[in-house]
Amino acid sequence: MDVISVIRTKRDRGELSPEQIDWVIDAYTRGVVADEQMSALAMAILLNGMNRAEIARWTAAMIASGERMNFDSLSRPTADKHSTGGVGDKITLPLAPLVAACGAAVPQLSGRGLGHTGGTLDKLESIPGWRALLSNEEMLNVLDTTGAVICAAGDGLAPADKKLYALRDVTGTVEAIPLIASSIMSKKIAEGTGSLVLDVKVGTGAFMKNIEDARELASTMVALGTDSGVKTIALLTDMSTPLGLTAGNALEIRESVEVLAGGGPSDVVELTLALAREMLDAAGIKDADPAKALADGSAMDVWRRMISAQGGDPDAALPVAREQHVVTASASGVLTRLDAYAVGVGAWRLGAGRARKEDPVQAGAGIELHAKPGDTVTAGQPLMTLHTDTPEKFEYALASLEGSYDVAPAGTAFSATPIVLDRIA
């Protein structure tokens, strides 16, 4: 087997054989296939696609590159959730303890932000003392004692995917649907969860800009999970507007705690409950009411135990950025559009995200929103507040926000886009 013939097969729109796929994933993981060769193959896949059999075999080969976890020792059924990434997408934070409070075990392996999308681990690391890196034994212990764990994937879990993901990010091949689907599902299947709910984002702030691409990605991932014995459901959800009123690490932790306390923005609460109901149903738990678990404080109790079990102090003060800059509304009327991508890039430029995986992030940086589409605004009123420790970043961030919102005359009819656009099972 040689890598040139594998590249040529896909370059010429051919179907990769199971043997070719197994060999190239193994060889790349071992360093036999060079980065530039795998880059060429990834670009050929982006341009020419893969069929269902190829994607399934590619995913299986990435799973086989490392270990598989097992949660059979737990007394609860397991349910996990994955989001394809968005702006202000803090849903994992209240969702994991909420579902655990209703009787499921939630082994949530999460990632860091890159570019305009935020990362769950970066958000949680703004809590003093909290640890993302746990051994498999520590992860299982936290899961067993609290019902939920949010942590980084270990080095032994789908190492081929970890290596390929980093390469895709710097070669313009992130958007390849077969590679997105296999990347997500190889980790989730190897993780060992019994059921999985996918939150596939659609809109300007998502990787999938239109619903047709999002539906293709969701259908591919549902098929991969189902074929591997994992009950998998996908919700297509809107990401044209940021979720909630914050985009940034400590800012989103504060908002998530508000949701767990029974408050918080209505869109965050709505999506959290929708995903919780799907996760509980997939896990076979039919009689729990997640709305009640938010209202009676039981979800908050799980949150506090989960944070403490990973070394964090749930009562500690969260970091606050040293500098703020207020953006005001340019006209009076009805706010009809607030672009998620622009807000995400603005938060990233303020220091909430990173350009490279090794870059540090500012815990307090980000953007706080004071109005959402459908709200009435007055010229000169605060529309958003920018937060950063480095005020020289304000100009760069403000440039990304140019033209990011529209204000229509007072009395203009406004129809909000539903949060949940479709369901695929």
> Are the C-beta atoms of residues 302 and 149 closer than 8 Å to each other?
no
What digits encode the pLDDT tens for the residues 65-80? 999 999 999 999 999 9
Q: What is the pLDDT averaged over residues 303-310?
A: 98
State pLDDT tens for residues 243-255. 999 999 999 999 9
Q: What is the pLDDT of residue 172?
A: 84
Q: Using an 8 Å Cβ cutoff, are 201 and 165 in contact?
A: no
CA atoms of 133 and 290, how far apart (whole Å): 29
- In this prediction, residue 148 carries a pLDDT of 98
- Give tens-digit pLDDT for 274-286: 999 999 999 999 9
Q: Give the pLDDT band of residue 170 (cuts 50, 70, 90).
A: confident
The alpha carbon torsion through 31, 37, 38, 44 (nearest 10 deg) reads: -170
* Closest among 117, 404, 83 to 248, alpha carbons compared: 117
Query: Rounded distance, CA 168 to CA 177, Å?
Result: 12
HSE-CB of 296 using CA atoms within 13 angstroms: 10
The stretch 105-134 carries a mean pLDDT of 91
* pLDDT tens track for 324-353: 999 999 999 999 999 999 999 999 999 998
Judged against a pLDDT cut of 90, whether residue 54 lies above it is answered with yes
Strands 382-388 and 366-369: antiparallel
User: Rounded mean pLDDT of 167-172?
Assistant: 83
Task: Pick the closest to residue 155 from 131, 124, 185, 187 (CA basis).
Answer: 187
The answer to whether the beta carbons of residues 193 and 149 sit under 8 Å apart is no
Least confident of 110-124, 328-342, 395-409: 110-124
Token digits of residue 336: 């009809």
pLDDT tens figures, 359-385: 789 999 999 999 999 999 999 999 999
Task: Provide mean pLDDT across the span 181-197.
Answer: 94
Mean pLDDT in the chain?
95
Question: How large is the average pLDDT for residues 124-131?
Answer: 97
pLDDT at 276: 98
Determine the average pLDDT of the residues in 99-121.
90
3-state secondary structure of 96: helix
pTM for the full model? Answer: 0.93
| Calpha distance 329→325 (Å, rounded) | 13
Domains of the chain, with CATH numbers? 3-49 (1.20.970.10), 80-153+174-309 (3.40.1030.10), 323-408 (3.90.1170.30)
Secondary element (H or E) of residue 15: none
- Enumerate the active-site residues: 82, 161, 168, 183, 187
**HEC letters along the chain:** CCHHHHHHHHHCCCCCCHHHHHHHHHHHHHCCCCHHHHHHHHHHHHHHCCCHHHHHHHHHHHHHCCCCCCCCCCCCCECEEEECCCCCCCCHHHHHHHHHHCCCEEEEEECCCECCECCHHHHHCCCCCCCCCCCHHHHHHHHHHHCEEEEECCCCCCHHHHHHHHHHHCCCCCCCHHHHHHHHHHHHHHHCCCEEEEEEEECCCCCCCCHHHHHHHHHHHHHHHHHCCCEEEEEEEECCCCCCCEEEHHHHHHHHHHHHCCCCCHHHHHHHHHHHHHHHHHCCCCCCCHHHHHHCCHHHHHHHHHHHHCCCCCCCCCCCCCEEEEEECCCCEEEEEECHHHHHHHHHHHHHCCCCCCCCCCCCCEEEECCCCCCEECCCCEEEEEEECCHHHHHHHHHHHCCCEEEECCCCCCCCCCCEEEEEC
Residue 357 has pLDDT above 80, yes or no: no
Q: Is the pLDDT of residue 214 over 70?
A: yes
pLDDT value at 169 more than 80 = no
